[in-house]
């Protein structure tokens, strides 16, 4: 399969495709690939990570009731109820060995929240090679706050950032912040060298801008921030979470 792939192309076998088709977007390749002297088969080209991922475990289209996690589920519900009652926040860690049911537990918790119209849920995920990509889960959350969707052009993204900036930073006469440029930099759309701020101040300004965005987003709503695969989180994202705390 590897030898059949072109430059910058990832091909996978049908077996791999079936295992991860709920996590990635694929394009079927219109030809058979020879695996060995006596066998060949279909292959699929990996396009990108799905914007909304499906479940990666279990039997497709079959929902089995969760068993043996009522105590943990009730703890999550209690933390959420207290956070609303006290107008405060809780940090909750769901930990355990791989395959023990951490994602399933959270999914069951989230199902019980669908009727709360004032609730928003922002999600970011950490990558196994996350140290090489600073702020990856934070950037995913930032895109959701700004309403940036897959397929948005650079012009669309600029427009959405400007819209938020006009609402949030209009009271600040601080042109040296270059908050629009800093946001574009963290979204990978502008080089740090092109910003109107010293490079040693970019991180500090981003933290301030992100907090202002988050506070504005929180107006008249409750919020849950979910960070998946936290054990892979990068150091820069940890620094921002500590700043918000």
121 has which bridge partners?
A: 224
Q: Number of C-alpha atoms within 13 angstroms, CB side, residue 5?
A: 14
Which ranges of the chain have pLDDT less than 50?
none
What is the distance between the alpha carbons of residues 180 and 20, in angstroms, rounded to a whole number?
37
Say which residue the tokens 């918790």 belong to. Answer: 109
Write down the pLDDT at residue 190: 86
Write down the pLDDT at residue 58: 61
Per-residue pLDDT reduced to its tens digit, 30-52: 877 776 767 778 889 999 888 77
Which of 109, 34, 41 shows the shortest CA–CA distance to 77?
A: 109
Dihedral of CA atoms 155, 156, 162, 165 in degrees, nearest 10, equals: -140
Instruction: Tell me if the pTM is above 0.85.
Output: no
Q: What does DSSP say about strands 40-49 and 119-125: parallel, antiparallel, or unpaired? A: unpaired
**First and final C-alpha spacing in the chain:** 47
């Amino acid at each position: 399969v590897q030898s059949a792939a072109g430059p910058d192309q990832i091909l996978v076998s049908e077996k791999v495709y079936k295992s991860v088709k709920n996590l990635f977007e694929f394009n079927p390749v219109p030809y058979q690939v020879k695996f060995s002297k006596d066998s060949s088969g279909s292959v699929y080209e990996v396009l990108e990570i799905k914007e909304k991922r499906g479940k990666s475990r279990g039997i497709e289209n079959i929902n089995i009731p969760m068993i043996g996690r009522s105590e943990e589920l009730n703890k999550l519900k209690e933390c959420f109820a207290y956070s609303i009652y006290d107008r405060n926040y809780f940090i909750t860690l769901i930990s355990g060995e791989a395959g023990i049911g951490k994602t399933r537990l959270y999914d069951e918790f989230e199902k019980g929240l669908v009727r709360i119209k004032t609730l928003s849920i922002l999600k970011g995920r950490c990558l196994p090679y996350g140290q090489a990509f600073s702020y990856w889960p934070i950037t995913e959350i930032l895109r959701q706050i700004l309403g940036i969707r897959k397929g948005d052009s650079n012009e669309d993204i600029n427009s959405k950032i400007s819209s938020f900036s006009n609402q949030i930073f209009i009271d600040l006469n601080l042109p040296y912040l270059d908050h629009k440029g800093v946001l574009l930099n963290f979204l990978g759309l502008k080089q740090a060298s092109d910003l109107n701020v010293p490079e040693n101040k970019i991180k500090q300004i981003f933290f301030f801008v992100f907090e202002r965005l988050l506070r504005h987003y929180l107006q008249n709503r409750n919020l849950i921030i979910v960070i998946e695969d936290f054990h892979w989180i990068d150091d820069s994202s940890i620094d921002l979470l500590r700043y918000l705390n």
